[in-house]
Structures are given as structure tokens and as C-alpha cells.
Amino acid sequence: MTSVVTTLAAWRALTADLVAQGATIGLTMTMGALHEGHASLLAAARTSCDVSLATVFVNPLQFGDAADLERYPRSLDADVAMCDAQGALAVLAPEAHEMWPSWPASTPTSVHVAGVTDRFEGEGRPGHFDGVATVVTKLLVATQASRAFFGEKDFQQLCMVRRLASDLALPVEIVGCPIVRDHDGLALSSRNARLTATGHATALALPRALGVASALVAAGATVDAVEAAMHEVAATATGLDLAYAAVVEPATLEPVRDATPGRAVRLLIAGIVEGVRLIDNAPATFGRQR
Ligand code: AMP
């Protein structure tokens, strides 16, 4: 049975013990309200490491908006059951003041990764990535994980964490895992629970736009044409407020302008439906124009 740990001191004791035994630790960091996307990360950790550990922490530092933090779904019992079903040994589920003793006052120390966080979610959610980078650093150090598992769903976050681990030479391998989708194509997200059936149907324009864009990239269309097509698909969905739709370089998220055949890119899209911010992305490779 998965045990639940609520203090950093107990978590450190547990992980130090595991490391002393020579076990490799796979870590999955989450904000709870776990779904099949999280389950895929837990499964990957269980398969590739001796021990799988998880964290469930709705990190207040990464929410710009107090109402969004308040509304974030919380379901610790179900989350622990999911971790148990996926073979996790223990879950760290701390209160906010355990992680950030001065909370709700700000914490003086913060981790900032420049460049890759400047645009897209970084632009739309000021301070968000600093909150993520800071909590990820703290949890990685406290856990001594050999591998940490992140979903490609949050592609910009994954790129930022790779950069962070590399720049600080953290002794951890960052593993990216594919996006898990609903049967209709919507990327699973804890936030989807806040959508009505109509909102869910509207949100499907995001994966639809990615599908259209992928086909255009494969057919060797120009970057402008690909981005315009994503905007067009989004415009057909009443109730979707598009935040961005872009073709970017997959490691740096710098804009791509030339559609050189064979060039691998990432398609990023985000929008707001019924007050819920949704993000999605897909890989694509430019083909030769036919
Ligand atoms: P969150 O609880 O939303 O902070 O997500 C925790 C981890 O689960 C992050 O690494 C996410 O990228 C990953 N994740 C969330 N949704 C999905 C999904 N649909 N497919 C794969 N990974 C996901």
C-alpha cells in the first residue's frame, strides 16, 4: 500500500534510506486530480526504476490568480489509490506552508530559467514558470531521484526542466512521456473537469487544429500557412479564445520561419474555453512541397 508522507523531513529520510540501499528512484511530480496521463508517468517510473515515488502538491507559487488556485481540483484519496494501482511506494503530499514556510508571503529564493520560458505560457501566465522551476528544483533535491518523468502535454514546462537540469548539472535524467488523450482526442488535463459538455466539444478545436497543421507541415506548406490554418480552425469554434498557435523549434521553442524539408518542429496551441486555459501540442516534420 502506498504510504503518504506530509513533511519534507520524513520524505528525505525515506529517500535517503532508498539511496543507501542502492535503489534507483523514479519521481513523478503532480498537482493531483490524477488521470490516465499521470498514470502513464507513474507506469513509466515503475517500469524503468527500482522504486516509483510521486508528489501531489498544488503549488501556490505557480498560480498567478488566487481564484484559479482556489478552484484547482483536489482529490488526495483517489490520487493515492491511483498511485497505489501504479505501484508507487510513497506519495509526498505536503501542505503549502510545509513547502513554503513563509506562505502566503513570498519566498525570497526563486529559480528562473530564461529564454525557453519567455513566450507562450510564460507570456500568458507571468511568474508561472518561476513557480514551477522552484518547486521542481526543491522536490528533485529532496528526493534524489535518478529519473524524473514529465508529460509532453506541458511541452514548454518539459523544455524548461531539461534546461534547468542541464544548467544546474542536477544528477537526474529528465524523461518526457507522450500525451495521453481522451477517446475524442482532447489531451487529458485535471482542468478538463471544469468544462461543460459544450465546452469540451469546443475544446476539441485544439487537437483538430494540430491535426490540420501536422498534415500541412508534412505536405511542405509554409510556416505562415500552417499558423494561419490553426487560427482558422480555432476561429470556427465559438467560445474558444485562442491564446497562440505557433510552429517552433522543439528544444528552444524559438520561432521557426523556414520550412526546410526534413526539419522537425513542434506545433504549440493554447486557448481559453469557459474560463479554463487549455494547452496542446504535437510533433511534426516538414515534407517536400508537392
Ligand atoms: P500536473 O498535475 O497537471 O501538474 O501534471 C503533472 C505531470 O503530468 C506533468 O509532467 C504533466 O505534463 C503530466 N501530464 C498531465 N497531463 C498529461 C497527459 N494528458 N498526458 C501525459 N502527461 C500528462
Mean of pLDDT values over 74-89:
98
CB neighbours of residue 212 within 10 Å: 16
Atom of ligand 1 nearest to the CA of 191: 3
pLDDT beyond 80 at 28:
yes
Which whole number is the average pLDDT over 256-260? Answer: 94
How far is 178 from 41, CA to CA, in rounded Å? Answer: 9
Mean pLDDT of 159-188: 98
The residue whose CA has the least distance to atom 17 of ligand 1 is 37
Kindly state if the Cβ of 37 falls inside 6 Å of ligand 1. Answer: yes
What mean pLDDT is predicted for residues 133-154? Answer: 98
Is the pLDDT at 289 greater than 90? The verdict is no
Global pTM reads: 0.97
- The predicted pLDDT at position 45 comes to 98
Let me know the angle formed at the C-alpha of 266 by 261 and 268, rounded to the nearest 5 degrees.
135
59 lines ligand 1 (CB under 6 A): no
CA dist 172 and 18 (Å) reads: 15
Q: Is the CB of 179 under 6 A from ligand 1?
A: yes
Q: Please state the rounded mean pLDDT for residues 205-234.
A: 98
Burial of 284 (0-12, 13-18, 19+ CB in 10 A): buried
Report whether 56 contacts 32 (CB < 8 A): yes
